[in-house]
A and B are shown apart, each in its own frame.
Chain A
């Protein structure tokens, strides 16, 4: 069963506008972590933001914020003031279990974001 669901294969946003990339997850663990990565065409995985399941406040990192709604099991990424360089694939991922559990990340299918001038 898919543990991470990203329902938007592709998204467009105009430069300087904000965009929300959706992510829902499925787990029975109480302790887990949620991640967002950016993957440009070069293929590298760039870590953007992390939210732990026990974190009460939504994570923020510069222009990135994570809208964490635990009851709805959603962890949407909000990018504010989009820039042309934000055009890339974006992956939502989850680590089940405790932080030092050594478990791998499960990735969603990704959302391709295109920022237009």
Chain B
């Protein structure tokens, strides 16, 4: 089945630094990538949608200069949290779709737990 590899699984960084999270589709071409954020015991909140080769579309309230999304190839999308602060500590998870996948073909990465200290 389709697999999305997400790294790192956990990261601790100092306040003010930047962190990059990668999602790679291993066996399919991810034409669309979705990035979600999840606070403890809460729902997944969509941050942005990116299509390969295009700029990401951010949801209302998500700072695009803070959360930089790059989807330069059909197998790799990255989320960079710039100048991270403790309130950015959260669980980030990507979900990829490819043209060849069926109607329920949303493949999730395993998530990244970010802690900003």
> Chain A binding site: helix, strand, loop or mixed by DSSP?
loop
Distance A45 CA – B95 CA, assembled complex (angstroms): 10
Contact between B34 and A105, CB atoms less than 8 A apart: yes
User: Looking at chain B, what size class is its interface with the partner chain?
Assistant: 20 to 34
Contact between B46 and A47, CB atoms less than 8 A apart: no
Given A43-B91, A104-B34, A109-B43, also A35-B110 (CB < 8 A): no
> Chain B binding site: helix, strand, loop or mixed by DSSP?
strand
A58 to chain B, nearest CB (A): 15
Q: Which of A67-117 contact B (CB under 8 A)?
A: 91, 95, 99-100, 102, 104-110, 112
Given A107-B43, A109-B43, A110-B43, also A43-B103 (CB < 8 A): no
Distance A14 CA – B43 CA, assembled complex (angstroms): 25
Whose C-beta in chain B lies nearest to the C-beta of A55?
Answer: B103
Which A residues fall within an 8 A CB radius of B? 33, 35, 42-45, 47, 50, 52, 91, 95, 99-100, 102, 104-110, 112
Which B residues fall within an 8 A CB radius of A? 31-32, 34, 38, 41-46, 49, 51, 91, 93, 95, 97, 99, 102-104, 106, 108, 110-111, 113
